[in-house]
Amino acid sequence: VWAKGGEGGIAVANEVIRLCEEGANSFQFSYEDYMSIVDKINPVATKMYGADGVDYTPEADAEIAKLTKLGFDKVPCMAKTQY
């Protein structure tokens, strides 16, 4: 898409449509929506990035508790920076 702009985007979209219409795939989510934030992070870290596990700082634990209290534990969002 980057090299060909809109034309590249159309080609990618058409390929996605073609693959979806094939009907055969093995797609699985890494976690279920009802899982806790920690239980969502662990499979992403281990299955996608090959980590042995995840260690949380006290600050991270506090942030996770705050996000959970605000109801954000049900929102699927995990960002990976380029660094």
Give the residue extent of every domain in the chain. 1-29, 37-74
Q: Which residues contact 75 (CB under 8 A, 6 or more apart)?
A: none
Over residues 72-82, mean pLDDT: 76
Question: In the numeric block, which tokens belong to residue 30?
Answer: 């890494």
- Between 64 and 48, the more confident residue is 64
pTM exceeding 0.85: no
Instruction: Give the chain's end-to-end CA distance (angstroms, integer).
Output: 22
Distances (CA, A) of 26 to 21, 22, 39, 45, 78: 14, 12, 22, 20, 22
Question: In the numeric block, which tokens belong to residue 3?
Answer: 């090299």
Three-state DSSP state, 27: coil
